[in-house]
Copies of this chain bind each other. A is one copy, B any other.
Amino acid sequence: MSNQVTLNKDKDPEISIQANDFSLADEVALLEKENLTDGAVVTFTGRVRNRNNGNVVTTLTLEHYPGMTEKSLAKIILQAKERWDIGRVKVIHRIGELSIGDQIVFVGVTSEHRQDAFAANEFIMDYLKVKAPFWKKEKITNAGQTSENWLAAKTTDTDKADLWS
Contact = CB atoms under 8 A, between A and B. Distances in A.
Contacts of A48: 39
Interface residues of A, number: 32
22 contacts: A23-B25, A24-B25, A25-B25, A36-B50, A36-B100, A37-B49, A37-B50, A39-B46, A40-B45, A41-B44, A41-B45, A41-B46, A42-B42, A42-B44, A43-B43, A43-B45, A44-B114, A49-B112, A114-B125, A115-B122, A118-B121, A118-B125
Nearest to A43: B43
A47 interface: yes
B32 A41 contact: no
A36 B60 CA distance: 14
Interface of A: 23-25, 28, 32, 36-51, 100-101, 112, 114-115, 117-118, 121-122, 125, 160
What is the count of identical protomers in the complex?
A: 2
B44 A118 contact: yes
A47 B39 contact: yes
A98 B48 CA distance: 37
A50 to B, nearest CB: 4
Contacts of A160: 115
Nearest to A122: B118
A24 B43 CA distance: 11
Contacts of A50: 36-37
A40 to B, nearest CB: 6
A71 B100 CA distance: 36
Nearest to A108: B43
A112 B112 CA distance: 29
